[in-house]
Structure 1
Amino acid sequence: MHMQLLEVSDWLNAHINESIWIDKREQEDLDQVRVQLEEIGFRESTQSLDGYTDGSAILLHGAGHVIKEEQEVPLPQNTFEIQVSGLVQAYVKNDKAYLETERANYSLRAE
């Protein structure tokens, strides 16, 4: 695991059994996700059929929803993946966690 991810991983572990709100910005798209965090995991680099989920990822396990256009769609398999291949930076500031990769930016907060 990348050293910068340890601080974010510690932050996530401190918020187990809490709701985590995630804003994911990818190009012009903003996805908002809410996860009732039960546990976190880490997937080492893999190769998928579609290429979209290739690489390493932080796995947030728990019931959750993707919120789009005021509709909530359940997370597939109760897991949200934060792709961390191409990690530029990851840090915790003002009780929020931030991750920036070559593909997307993530902002996480607990409630």
Structure 2
Amino acid sequence: MSQSINELSEWLESHKGETLLIKKGELATGLQQVFDIDEVTLQLEHITVVSNEKSIDDYMPSQELVLHGNGSIQSPEGEKPLPQNAYEIPLYGEVNTTNEKDCLKVETEKAVYDIHLH
């Protein structure tokens, strides 16, 4: 696991039992412009790291973090329950993290995540 993924895992582990607000912005292919922003609230119970060692294309990340807990996602129709009480963060390509006071910013090749204590 890379240093950034370790930092992300450790930060999340240190906030088990707390409520997180996760804002995810998809990155336009080949551009650094954010579109399609999702907002999730999650009571973090635990995390798992899933390795997809047999990933041979860009459709499956080599690793992903799965955040387990009760939560909801904001949609145009209003607030909806989080499917299967889990939120996945696919770790495509190089992963960079920036740790701020009560927030961790995570950047992958395909998305930007701002994870705040709520």
Same fold (TM over 0.5): yes
Residue 74 of structure 2 is aligned to residue 67 of structure 1: yes
Q: What is the SS of the residue equivalent to 1:87?
A: coil
Q: Using the alignment, how far apart are the partners of 2:59 and 2:72 within structure 1? A: 20
CA RMSD of aligned residues (A): 1.9
- The CA deviation at 1:74 is 1.3
Residue 22 of structure 2 is aligned to residue 22 of structure 1: yes
Aligned length: 109
1:1-111 mapped onto 2 (5 Å cutoff): 1-27=1-27, 28-45=35-52, 53-69=60-76, 71-111=78-118
Deviations 1:2-38 (A, max 9, x none): 2112222111111111111000001411000011100
Q: Using the alignment, how far apart are the partners of 2:114 and 2:88 within structure 1? A: 13
Alpha-carbon contact 1:24-1:104 (below 8 Å) kept: yes
Q: Using the alignment, how far apart are the partners of 2:78 and 2:10 within structure 1? A: 31
Identity %: 37
Q: Using the alignment, how far apart are the partners of 1:30 and 1:5 within structure 2? A: 22
Q: 1:24 to 1:47 in 2, by over 3 A?
A: farther
Structure 2: unaligned runs, 5 residues or longer: 28-34
After superposing on structure 2, the runs of 4+ consecutive aligned residues of structure 1 that deviate more than 6 Å are none
TM-score (norm 1): 0.86
Alpha-carbon contact 1:7-1:91 (below 8 Å) kept: no
Structure 1: unaligned runs, 5 residues or longer: none
